[in-house]
Homo-oligomer: A and B are copies of this chain.
Amino acid sequence: MKFKPKFSSGLWVFAGCMDRFCPSGYSKLVGVKEQIELAGKVQGLKGIECHQSDFDQISRQEFKRLLKKNNLSCSNVNVNVWGSAKWKHGAFAHQDKRIRKEAIEEAKKAVRIAREIGSPSIGLWLGADGFDYPFQINYFKQWDYLLSSIREVGEYAQPDIKVGIEYKLKEPRTHMTISSAGKTLAICLELGLENVGAVIDFGHALMSREDPAESLVLLSRHHKLFNVHLNDAYREWDDDMIVGVVHFWETLEFLYYCVKTSYQGWLGLDMFPYREDGVKAATMSIKNIKALLKMVEKIDFAKLERAQRTMGALKTQEVIRKVVF
């Protein structure tokens, strides 16, 4: 099968942004309905990602109606088990059985929503599961609970819903437990569930000091790349910027491997346009990705692979630099 880009976007891209220094927001904060309407204005956008918690604001019927109206489908239902004080010390790996159970229930709810609204997958970005201080948690219990909770959700989602684990090094915790592509793959191998895989967020991969394309391959070798979040960042933090504005070459390389591996999932935008208009930021990201994909087409794949066989950077650069220089 050939790679065909399908663009999705997190609804949060259109929600308006705030941070700890500006709680009232850098622009107007808007609700789910308006977020969908705004997503509908982005040229080329075919899908959206939501959270199970969005349905506290909107019925599933209304949600489906709005998607249809805006020619959108849902590419992923993310599990929000980090956005309220209850989860401040953890969710899937919380030491308190009741809280852990509640977290798992939220994920199961996301599975049911996914089924109902036609999403192929749910997303597990476990933002609360980690620690802030040395010695704060017992890592053995942390891992055991984490694995058993994911297993329970994975089994519940069988056979039709994929469960994509989105790793991140840190934020909101100073250390998150599932922090790298390697750990995510190890989890997948330990669990051995066909429908449990990984999500690469480009900025998260950079933050974990990975080459995002290399992480894509690491996971793809095991057929575990279920979803992709695109954005850009300055490597030390999840800056969630417009695609391609900082890491031109690494974004190009990532898209090259999407093409090369015939990646069949969505290209999801995961940005926080703090001071920018969300619709314009998403539109520009899609335009940038399309332009980068055109450049990928200009690469002579056979020639690049021949150059790669020499393992010499001058040879590969000679092929690659031509797409812009």
Measured CB to CB, the residues of A under 8 A from B are: 17-27, 82-85, 88-90, 94-95, 127, 131-141, 143-144, 169-172, 174-175, 177, 179-186, 189-190, 207-211, 213-214, 217-218, 221-222, 234-237, 239, 241-242, 244-246, 248-250, 252-253, 256-257, 272, 274-277, 280-281, 284, 287-288, 291-292, 304-305, 308-314, 316-321, 324-325
Which of B20, B127, B241, B252 makes the CB contact (< 8 A) with A133? B241
User: Within 8 Å CB of A311, what residues of B?
Assistant: 89-90, 94-95, 136-137
B276 touches A312 (CB 8 A): yes
User: Within 8 Å CB of A304, what residues of B?
Assistant: 135
B83 touches A22 (CB 8 A): yes
A285 to chain B, nearest CB (A): 10
In the complex, the chain B residue whose C-beta lies closest to that of A189 is B189
B139 touches A313 (CB 8 A): no
Q: Given known contacts A22-B83, A217-B140, A237-B237, is B182 in contact with A133 (CB within 8 Å)?
A: no
A245 to chain B, nearest CB (A): 6
B139 touches A257 (CB 8 A): yes
User: Within 8 Å CB of A246, what residues of B?
Assistant: 134, 249-250
Instruction: Give the docked Cα–Cα distance between A83 and B140 (Å).
Output: 38
Q: List 20 A-B contacts (CB under 8 A).
A: A20-B272, A21-B82, A25-B85, A89-B311, A89-B312, A90-B311, A95-B309, A132-B275, A134-B213, A134-B249, A136-B308, A136-B313, A138-B308, A181-B182, A186-B186, A189-B190, A208-B208, A276-B313, A284-B314, A291-B324
As for how many copies of this chain the complex holds, the number is: 4
Instruction: Give the docked Cα–Cα distance between A141 and B132 (Å).
Output: 38
User: Within 8 Å CB of A177, what residues of B?
Assistant: 214
Instruction: Give the docked Cα–Cα distance between A256 and B27 (Å).
Output: 32
Q: Given known contacts A139-B214, A236-B237, A249-B248, is B325 in contact with A288 (CB within 8 Å)?
A: yes
A174 to chain B, nearest CB (A): 5
Which of B183, B276, B318 makes the CB contact (< 8 A) with A218? B183
Instruction: Give the docked Cα–Cα distance between A210 and B183 (Å).
Output: 11
A19 touches B20 (CB 8 A): yes
A237 touches B20 (CB 8 A): no
User: Within 8 Å CB of A211, what residues of B?
Assistant: 134, 175
User: Within 8 Å CB of A275, what residues of B?
Assistant: 88-89, 132, 312-313
B313 touches A88 (CB 8 A): no
A242 touches B288 (CB 8 A): no
A218 touches B143 (CB 8 A): yes
B245 touches A22 (CB 8 A): no
Instruction: Give the docked Cα–Cα distance between A132 and B309 (Å).
Output: 15
User: Within 8 Å CB of A180, what residues of B?
Assistant: 180, 182-183, 208
